[in-house]
Amino acid sequence: TVPPQALLVSESGIRSGEDARRLAAAGVDAILVGEALVRAEDPRAFARELTPERDSRSRR
């Protein structure tokens, strides 16, 4: 059991936006992406794929 105040971080195997969404749906608070980001043809686009949609009011 994970204490409620703990942050749950997934640290491996994230290769797509679908992986990130599945982890978020499972209650993961954060992800650590390494190899997939480094190997991505377009790292910026890949990072956007991993980032959840935000309300436009929260954008800077």
Task: Name which of 53, 58, 59 is nearest 17 in CA terms.
Answer: 53
49, 16 Cβ separation under 8 angstroms: yes
pLDDT tens track for 8-21: 999 989 999 999 99
CA 1 to chain centre: 22
Question: pLDDT tier at 1 (50, 70, 90 boundaries)?
Answer: confident
Between 35 and 1, name the one with better pLDDT.
35
Q: Parse the chain into domains and list their residue ranges.
A: 9-52
Burial of 17 (0-12, 13-18, 19+ CB in 10 A): middle
Residue 4 is predicted with a pLDDT of 86
The whole-angstrom separation of Cα 45 and Cα 30 is: 19
pLDDT tens track for 29-58: 999 999 999 999 999 999 999 987 655 554
Question: What one-character DSSP code corresponds to residue 4?
Answer: T
